[in-house]
Amino acid sequence: MQLRYIRLFVQRLRENKIFDISAQLGYYFLMAMFPLLLFILSIISFLPITSNDVLRFLSPYVPPGTLQILTYNVHTIIDVQRLDTLSFSSAATIWLSLLGTFAIIRAINHSYHLTNPPWYKMLVIGFGLMLSILLAIVLSLLLPIYGRSFGLFLFSFIGLDHYFIYAWEWFRWGVSFIVIGLVLFYIFLSVPNRKVTTKEALPGAIFALISWQAASFGFFFYVEHNDYSAIYGSLGNIIVLMVWFYISGFSILAGGQLNAMIAERRP
């Protein structure tokens, strides 16, 4: 019975082109990250932080070739306060993120065999998803994947002892688990163009959360234990990040498909 249900689940994933749309989401997420980084650096330029502080933090974790490219860009953005860069990066991040959220809305409603909501409602839902998914992605990158490096830098800068580092290990994974779980639950509760109860949204949220965290743990293991610049050079970061974005997008869409199949079995 369980094996037949799993085979049906995989068949539905293929029929609804979840694997293909996940690649589309991964592309949108990756493209949205670059203007988001520009936006963050532009915000930093108005704070009492110099470009040398940022490069000193990045240098232990970035390949030398990539660091040389970043040095000029970081100096240009942070040392020169430019509002045009801030406005452009903000608009690009919003536009690319909205394209990704619209793809999620269409794919999940298609899994439920529902029509898409009106454009104004789709825009409102898209903005909510954009903010929540960007928060989940940033937390997934900062806490589970690069959280250990960030914690070591922070505690060495403040001067705390190693006991706080052990507490930080539990904290970074726990906060990431809770926040991402809430974001996924919000997605499956608000995206379908029909009333969805808490009980109906929960299975897909749990499935997507476990898949997303497993992908984050795999990415963390790769970053910690592999020389990602040995084979592909500085492109190794982008390739692995693209795979992680693909799995993250697939987790969201597969969770929506799971909820749709469970809803079909209910009277």
102-117 burial code (b ≥16 CB/10 A, e <16): bbbbebbbbbbeeeeb
- How far is Cα 223 from Cα 229, in angstroms, rounded to an integer? 10
Query: What pLDDT score was predicted for residue 109?
Result: 92
Residue 43 structure tokens: 């915000």
- How far is Cα 263 from Cα 199, in angstroms, rounded to an integer? 10
**What would the DSSP string read from start to end of 22-70?**
HHHHHHHHHHHHHHHHHHHHHHHTTTT--HHHHHHHHTTTS-HHHHHHH
Query: What pLDDT score was predicted for residue 80?
Result: 60
Query: What pLDDT score was predicted for residue 241?
Result: 75
pLDDT truncated to tens, each residue of the chain (267 aa)?
Answer: 577 888 888 899 999 899 999 998 888 888 877 766 666 666 666 666 666 666 665 555 455 555 555 566 665 666 665 555 556 667 777 788 888 889 999 999 999 988 988 888 888 998 888 888 877 777 766 665 555 666 666 666 565 556 666 676 677 777 778 888 888 999 999 999 988 888 889 999 999 999 888 877 777 676 666 655 555 555 666 777 788 888 888 999 999 999 999 888 776
Helices 18-44 and 64-79: angle between axes, nearest 10 degrees: 50
Query: What pLDDT score was predicted for residue 207?
Result: 92
Q: What is the pTM of this model?
A: 0.76
Query: What pLDDT score was predicted for residue 204?
Result: 92
Query: What pLDDT score was predicted for residue 147?
Result: 59
Query: What pLDDT score was predicted for residue 164?
Result: 67
